[in-house]
Amino acid sequence: MATAQDKGRKRHVIVDTMGLLLLLVVAVTSASVQDRAGGRTVLARLASGFRTISLVWADGGYANSVDSTLLSWARDALNIVVEIVKRTDDVKGFKVLPRRWRAVARLDAIIDERF
């Protein structure tokens, strides 16, 4: 999620189930970096800082039908299951997705406080 002041950057964050930001697992990358590469960074930080976490819900950009290496890497190397939260194809326009809205709400709050 980029703002007008931060064009060209992606923020990869992990929040807990209450929407609280886990500060050890934040990464800011260039917009040219694939989501799966940024996902490896934050998942590795998550595994080293929070050893008991075994399930992560992620946006569809972190895996697709062509490349699911992030999911298998997280499962095999980190013992973390990454479950992709997808919207249904029949939905048109914006729809709040369960689980994923917490991360979006947290990012919005952080951006609003910064600017």
pLDDT digits (tens, 9 = 90+) for 14-45: 888 777 778 778 888 898 988 888 899 999 99
> What does the pLDDT average to over 70-88?
89
Helix (H, G, I), strand (E, B) or coil at 49: helix
d(Cα 95, Cα 41) in Å, to the nearest integer?
28
Percent of the chain with pLDDT over 90: 27
| Joined tokens for residue 115 | 């600017």
With residue 83 as reference, give the H or E element that holds it.
strand 81-85
Please answer whether residues 67 and 36 qualify as being in contact, where contact means their C-beta atoms are separated by less than 8 angstroms: yes
Highest mean pLDDT range out of 8-12, 37-41, 65-69, 108-112? 37-41
State the pLDDT at residue 75.
95
Amino acid identity at 102 = R
- Measuring CA to CA, which residue among 112, 106, 111 is closest to residue 16? 106
State the pLDDT at residue 41.
92
